[in-house]
Amino acid sequence: MRIVIDPGKERRTINFIDNICFSHVKDLEGNPLDLSLSLMVQNGNSEMRLASGRDDEVSTGKQPLIVWINGAGWRKCDKNLMAAEMQFFAEHGYAVACIQYRHSGIGHFPDQLIDVKTAVRFLRTHADQYGIDPDRVATMGRSAGGHLSAWMAMNTDGFDSDEWADASSKVQAAVDFFGPVDIKTCNLIEIENFKNPAHRWHKIEETHGGALLGGDPATMVERSDAASPIFHISEKTAPIIILHGDQDPLVPVSMSEDFYSRLEKAGLADQSELYIVKNGGHGTRELFQTECKQLVLDFLNRYLKK
């Protein structure tokens, strides 16, 4: 059977570039560690370029960038675990970087935030190489990654390494999927859970928040505020959209409600959005339905494509 079809060329090619090293750091024992990222980007017929030195796709110009940050309680997690879900945004003209950061077994806060900021500066420094617009950058993350994305939205000074120092780590927008933005509340919840003999942990240093902070367990609660973006809102805070399931058993939806309330009180209601997802648990599929992604896309388009 021979059939001639004419599908047109409305959909553009998405290329996936993996294992791009963006940072050289050390773990808690002083051992060297390379951090890498992957990048999804509409940058033409890459295979043809490699094979023939030319391209048959006309460039659409530099694309706004989303830096995706995985969760998993700041524990070890493959940077590409949610890459398939992020293709939605690549299809709509965003370059999407999925980044690695030091997990809590090899780095304590603020190492994780430092790594995210380094990734942003690296991508800005190499914007021409990858077809990225360095002036249109957003972060997006789920759970622990939502915490770090919310931190990036604060646009605080500091937490910058010496790598790629000529570039800014400030972002123009951020997306927080059910992030534990108040580490003190998380730790107090865990301490209450210790009363249950069947609970998975019985020492604060074993919990996700405790492992993130490290150091003396006796001071973890009082040190929690310094690791919580909810207490660092200012006039520098970037536009942010928050999505949280109303049935989340790990990070209470009240935490995101409190976060949004504080953004309102800071006079940032016009650039902040909170969506409570009915029947949504902690990262359950309700949160990543097309309707939710479209809300995020519309939000990002307002701030990165206007």
pLDDT for res 11: 85
* C-alpha distance from residue 204 to each of 117, 145, 164, 189 (Å): 28, 21, 36, 10
Task: Determine the average pLDDT of the residues in 131-153.
Answer: 98
Range of the domain at 144: 15-179+234-304
pLDDT for res 55: 61
pLDDT for res 12: 86
In this structure, the answer to whether residues 89 and 187 fall within a common structural domain is no
67-91 per-position pLDDT tens digit:
999 999 999 999 999 999 999 999 9
In this structure, the answer to whether residues 142 and 247 fall within a common structural domain is yes
pLDDT for res 195: 95
Residue 280 clears pLDDT 70, i.e. is over it: yes
In sequence order, what are the residues at sequence separation of 6 or more whose Cβ sits closer than 8 angstroms to the Cβ of residue 132? 41, 62, 63, 64, 65, 95, 123, 124, 126
Q: Which structure tokens are listed for 65?
A: 């960038």
In this structure, the answer to whether residues 32 and 97 fall within a common structural domain is yes
Residue 170 lies in a domain: yes
Ranges of H-type helices in 60-181? 83-91, 111-125, 127-130, 144-153
CATH number of the domain within which 81 lies: 3.40.50.1820
Residue 298 lies in a domain: yes
